[in-house]
Structures are given as structure tokens and as C-alpha cells.
Amino acid sequence: MSSIKIIKPGLFTTIQDSGRMGFQRYGMPVAGAMDNFSFRIANILVGNDQYEAVLETTFMGPTIEIGFDGFIAITGANMSPKLNGKDIKMWRSIQVNKGDQLTLSGSSEGLRSYIAFGGGLAVPEIMDSKSTYVRGSLGGFKGRKLQEGDEIPIDTSKSKAEPGKYISPGYIPRYSKTNVVRVVLGPQDDHFPSEAIDTFLNSEYNITAEADGMGYRLEGPKLTHIKGPDIISDGIVFGSVQVPGHGSPIVMMADRQTTGGYTKIATVIWADLPTMAQMGPGDSIRFQSVSIEEAQEILEQYEQTIDDIKYRVENSNIIQEETKVYNVTINRL
């Protein structure tokens, strides 16, 4: 079987897919890719199932020796990727050959990049997922972030990748250090006075250095409680905004624990979690409240966008043929 070899691992490079769905009731965190959009598009570009495992790299990318002839795609944060020392484009399929060296450097925009390989990463599934849960030493490659010398198998026999696949520039997200993030209030917003809700929705919060795959601690105006902050522990979802007794919000992310005993003032909507995933320490957030119905409509639009991208990538040859412009000369008799 083909493989890739890690020459330099970067700051924090792991194997991730969509995570361990359905096991939280047993105390197993979901984990999975932080940026759902970039992760799925990378796979679509190389013809994989959109939830196939990829490499997720944070802030500083890896150097990888390619051990196969095939295709890769890189999405997410711009880490100035190079193949054999030459710049290559992101958000498209890239042909690679055995012996090539892929290098990603420090991020100039965004925080996390995703590298998909045509055919997928051939690591074992644990609880229906290949994702790495580092705190539990589970999944991915030996349950840890990648290290120098690691060799990861690639199942190129399953590859459906083709050259020249790309997404239109209009679909490519731009990453800002200041963002408005939409939330649905609750489930414990009734534990806060109206003044605290107003403060939460009308203030700027900065992401602190205490930010990782488990959660982002925010710095800004403190939020007071009328009940709590402790509650009977209940479930935590990706995007839950906990407010402990110190009054500083914490946005729970992909590696969050399964349950928690602090009040949750709001929940970041699914479609805005990729925005959060590409933000880091020092970046600033403002929260905007939307209704559950609005959040559902936004999610439908988000999924429709991914479906549109997938259709265009898979049918790019047909679309290009349909949009050709022909010059016709008519000779009058």
C-alpha cells in the first residue's frame, strides 16, 4: 500500500474526519475536524467521500514526502503550500508523484489547513471514526498528533481523483480576525438577567491564549447569573457557550467533553463554526442572536452550498462544455 512520510510535523497535525457520532452517551467525545466546510471540500476535490479522513494542521504546517502517484487537495488556512519548492494553489486538485515533497509553512490567513489524499488515509476506524482524540490517546495514528518519521498509509486503489478540479473563487471563504458569529440563545439563557444577555450580544470578546480544540476562552465584559452558575450536568454540543462563575464565556469546540455542569447562555450555529475554527488568540468576536428557525434555514443554505460545489466539481467537464463560446460566421449567398 502507498503512504506518506512526515518529515516535519508542524505545530499540531492530526488525522480527522467528521468524528465519533453516537457515542457521547458512553462518555466518548466526538472530536473530528474543527472546520467542517474546508474538511469536506478538500475531500470533494479529490473524489473522496466528503467525510473521509484528512490531515488537519494548525497554524504551522508539516513537510510531507509523497510516496505515491496521485492527487491531493489543500483547503482552509493559507499556509503557502509548496510542492518541491514551487508554489501550488489551494482549493483544487493537485497531481503529485512518488518522491515529491509537500511543504506548508506558517499561516498567513486563518488557523487550520486541511490536506486530503485521493483514496483516503488507510488508518483503522475506532467507534466508526478515524479521528484523533489526543486527550484520550485514541484514533488517528497511534492516538496522537503526528511526529517526524511517521508513515501514514494511503489507499490509492480507491482513488477517484481527477486533474483540474477546483472550486470557483466565490465559494472560497476569506478569514478575518474580527467576525460576527450567530448564536441561538439557550438552553440556560433564563439563568442570566436581561442585562447580561444584552452585554453578551452587544460587546466585543477576544479569544485568549487558552484556546484549543476543546474550547475557546473569551475575554471581555463579565456576565452575571441570577441562577447558577452550576447546573445538573447535561450534554454539551459543538458551539455551546458556557459561562462559569468567573463570568467569562467559553465556546466549546470539537474536542469538548460530553457533559458539563455550567450554564450555557447560547449555542453557536453550525454554519458559523467553521468561522470560529479559523480564528485564534487575539481575534475578536461579536455575537448575534438568531431564532431556531433562522438557524435551520441558514444550515439548509450551508448544505446547499456544499451540494452545489460537489455538483460543479464532479461535473466540471460537462459545465465547461456547456459554457463554451463559439464564434460563428454566416456567409450570405
| pLDDT exceeds cutoff 80 at 276 | yes
- The pLDDT-based confidence of 324 (bands split at 50, 70, 90) is very low
- In angstroms, the CA 244 to CA 16 distance is 29
pTM here?
Answer: 0.93
- DSSP per residue over 221-255, as a string? S----SS-SEEEEEE--TTEEEE-TT---EEE-TT
Q: pLDDT (tens digit, 9 = 90+) per residue, 102-154? A: 999 999 999 999 999 999 999 999 999 999 999 999 999 999 999 999 999 99
Question: 77 pLDDT exceeds 50?
Answer: yes
CATH 2.40.100.10 maps onto the chain at 178-290
Residue 169 CB contacts under 8 Å (≥ 6 apart), including other chains: none
Q: Is the pLDDT of residue 328 over 50?
A: no
Q: What is the pLDDT of residues 214-263, one digit of tens each?
A: 999 999 999 999 988 999 999 999 999 999 999 999 999 999 999 999 99
The CATH fold assigned to 178-290 is Cyclophilin (2.40.100)
